[in-house]
Structures are given as C-alpha cells and as structure tokens.
Amino acid sequence: MRQKRESVLSLRWNDEGLPLPVRVYRAKYQAISQVLDRSPEILNRIHDDLRKLSQGGRRGREGDYTSENILRALLVQSIEGLSFRDVVVRIAESAFLQDFLRMRKKTVMDYSFLNKCFKAIRPETWKAVNKLLSQDAVRRDLIDAATIRTDTTVVETNIHYPTDSSLLWDAWRVASRWLRRARKIEPACCRHRFHNRKIKRLYLFIARYAISKSKPRQRQVKAAFRALIERVEWIVGIAGEFCDVARSSSNLDLAGVGLELQAFLPSMRTVAATARRAQVVGETVPARDRVFSIFEPHTELLKRGKRQKPTEFGHKVLLCETPEKFITDYEVYERQQADCALTESVIRRHEALFGVAPKVLAGDMGFCPTAEKFEELEELVGTLAIPRRLRDFANKVLAKWQAFRAGIEGTISGLKRVFRLFRCFFRGFKSFASAVGLGVFCHNLIVLAGSS
C-alpha cells in the first residue's frame, strides 16, 4: 500500500553568498512548498489515484515512494520543462530538489516509474486540484475572481504533417513490422512477403513529384498513388485476418501482438479509404472523415485564421484567467466547438466554482453569441465585455476591457514556452488532457508563490 506522505525534517538552506538567480530559484520552490502545505486536500485527491499503483501483496508491502514524493517530482518535471529521463537526473544531482520532494534518505525514482505515475492520475483529478487551488486562493484574498478574461488556444499533438502518402506509408510500415514480429513467434501465422523498399520508393516518388505541374508526371504520381493504396489495402486485410486468428490463439505472445496490431486497424482502414476517395475518385474528403495520424487518431484539424500557421493539428483548449494571471478554469475539447458557443458554459462553470457569476467577463469577438443570447448573458454578468461589431472598439469602457483581455495572450505564450504546452508529447487524449491540467496547475502554483 502506498503512503500518502511521511514526516521528513526539511533542511534550512543557507543562501548567503549565492548568486541572485540561485536564491530566486530556491525561493520559488520554497514558496510552492508552502502553498501545497496550506492545501492538504490537493494531496488527498492525488493520493486517491496513485494508491492504485501499489495495492500491496499478502504481506502488505508499502510503496517505496509516498504520493507526496511523486506529486512533487511531477511538479519539478513540468516547471523545469524536462523529460522524465532528464528530470530524474536533475533531482538526483540536486540535494535542494530532493529536499523539496521530501525524500533525502531515498534513492531517486526511475523515470519509467514516474511516467507510470503520471498516467495513473486522471484528467478529472487535475481539474479537481485546480478547483481546490482556486477556491483556496479566493478564500485567502490572493486573487479577485470577480473579473475574468477568457480565450482559446490550440495545443498540438506530436505528429508529423499528415499527407495521404505519408499516412499510407505509416500504415504499411507499422502493419508489416507487427506481422514480421508475429511470424518470428509462429511462422505459420503469416506466410506473406512484405517488400518495404518497393513501398517506400512509391511513397518517396509521390512526396517528391506531387507538386509537379507536368501532366505526364502527374499521371505517374496518380498511378503511384493507386499502387500504394492497393498495397496498403492488401496488408490491412492481412492484418485483420491475423488479428482474428491471434485473438483465439493459446500462444500469449502471439495474442499480445494481435492486440497491439488491432489497436491500429481502424485508423489504417480509414487512411486507406480516405486516400482512395481523394486520390483515385477525386472526391474532396471533409476533415471529420479523416484520420490525421494512426498513432494519435484523436487529433483534430483546426483552422483559426493565423497567417503564420493557418492549419494546426491538436485540440482546442479554453482558459479563464483573473487579473493576477491565475487560471481559474480550463477545458480541453476532444471535439472542437465554436468560441461563440462557449461563452455561456464559461459563466455557468464560474458560478459552480465560486457560487456567483463574474462581474466582468472579457473576451474577443469570437466569443460573441447571437443578439438574443447576448442580452440573456448580459443579465447574468455585470459587464459582458465582448465586442459585437468593429465600432464597439470606439467605446472607451469596452476598449479598456479589451486591453485587459489582451493580457491572457501572455499567459498562453508562457504556458507554451515554459510548460511545453506548444505540443503534447504524450500519447492518447487522456494523457493529452492530463498534460494540460498539470501545466495549468504548475502555472497557478508559481502565481500564488509569487504573491505570498
């Protein structure tokens, strides 16, 4: 059974004579530690998820690390902007960080264990601890939740730029790799030969000459596309037959390969089908019918009108922030929604969180609902500072609140640069939402640490 925390005497660090950046660095973590100690409910919620990792055997062996050790290690990983492998090295080399984790008498945990702990904490738990932190900050008068600003951004998934040819090549190489692995376990399960070099030459030919304006070259590209699609459809069919056989196999290794390959099959079939519709039939395939990665099939295509990046692949994230740059509410959308449809939900969630609607809600023109809905929401909020037309910017009061709204852009930039939320390097939507929740939680801890 995993312990929640254990009593460890923290050392008093003598910072005299140290350079100013070192003193600031240590003061930041000491203030964060005080914020966490003031809110023990946060550790209780994290512990409820982490204790499932160590149920203990018949002898009831305790876990090597407490939930407090793990939570603080994850905070260091996010604040430092490091990978799990690098943060373990950073902690092992720093007696100060070991003291912050409250584990000076223990060896540092393995990075794979830390990754497993991150996966064990649910996205709902990160939302819950952010809610607890927000309510505690309001009780202590550290933030003013009556005035908020809101905006949306995109956090990208860790995929390459998706084209039909590259997705087809991904489907081929993954299917052939798993089928070869199965053949090593049981040669009779797959007697086909897979010519990876030939398929890769087709993919590279398409990638090189797809932009050519020569009509003969375009005919060659179309023929190469047709051949590539046929070969991918062939191997996906073989993979489906193998998975049916492996499912009923008594060989556990073979059944395991079948389960791994089965997870990719729906995305592979979608890739082959949409490529045929687009490249052979000549149909314009809508984004909702496509898959943009066989590894991250939950990825969405988002167009937000940005000149430098017109197309993004990931998920939309909504943020609500106080004047102190404290993020009171966030939401990660698995399926994107228009900003104008989110305004009412922002107000309702704020009411549920603090018991009263905000006095001021500032947003950009994208959050403006219909005229009837706008009047309805104005009755709930004291000042709904959302411009409905360009001439509204001439209004001095609204212009003031729009200048206030622009402050959230700096917070979004900080989240992406400091906490690596420009791109999520975890697989699956659940881990995607957890990574956003951890980044927001660390940002809020630093804000409160600076104000205390």
Q: How far apart are CA 334 and CA 24, in angstroms?
A: 38
Q: Average pLDDT, whole number, for the chain?
A: 90
* 402-419 mean pLDDT: 92
Structure-model confidence comparison of residues 392 and 409, the more confident one: 409
Provide the pLDDT confidence category of residue 320 given band limits of 50, 70 and 90: very high
- Judged against a pLDDT cut of 60, whether residue 56 lies above it is answered with no
Instruction: Name the amino acid, one letter, at 6.
Output: E
pLDDT at 215: 92
Higher pLDDT, 358 or 64: 358
H/E stretch holding 414: helix 407-418
The confidence score (pLDDT) of residue 131 equals 94
Backbone angles phi, psi at 227, to 5 degrees: -65, -40
Output the pLDDT for position 308: 83
pLDDT value of residue 57: 53
Q: Please give the pLDDT value at position 60.
A: 58
Phi, psi (rounded to 5 degrees) for 329: -150, 145
- For the chain, count helices (H), then strands (E): 16, 7
- Is the Cα torsion angle 162, 167, 170, 175 positive or negative in sign? positive
pLDDT of residue 53: 80
CATH class label, 124-159+298-451: alpha beta
The structure tokens 């009923």 sit at 248
The per-residue pLDDT for 61 is 65
Query: Which of 79-88, 127-136, 144-153, 185-194 has the weakest average pLDDT?
Result: 185-194
Model confidence at 452: pLDDT above 70? no
Q: What is the mean pLDDT of residues 350-360?
A: 91
pLDDT at residue 58 greater than cutoff 60: no
The domain ranges of the chain are 20-121, 124-159+298-451, 164-289
How confident is the model over 145-185, as pLDDT tens digits?
999 999 999 999 999 999 999 999 999 999 999 999 999 99
Residue 166, phi then psi, degrees to nearest 5: -70, -35
Q: What is the pLDDT of residues 192-232, one digit of tens each?
A: 889 999 999 999 999 999 999 999 999 999 999 999 999 99
Of 412, 423, 419, 452, nearest to 321 by C-alpha is 412
Pair 300, 315: CB distance under 8 Å: yes
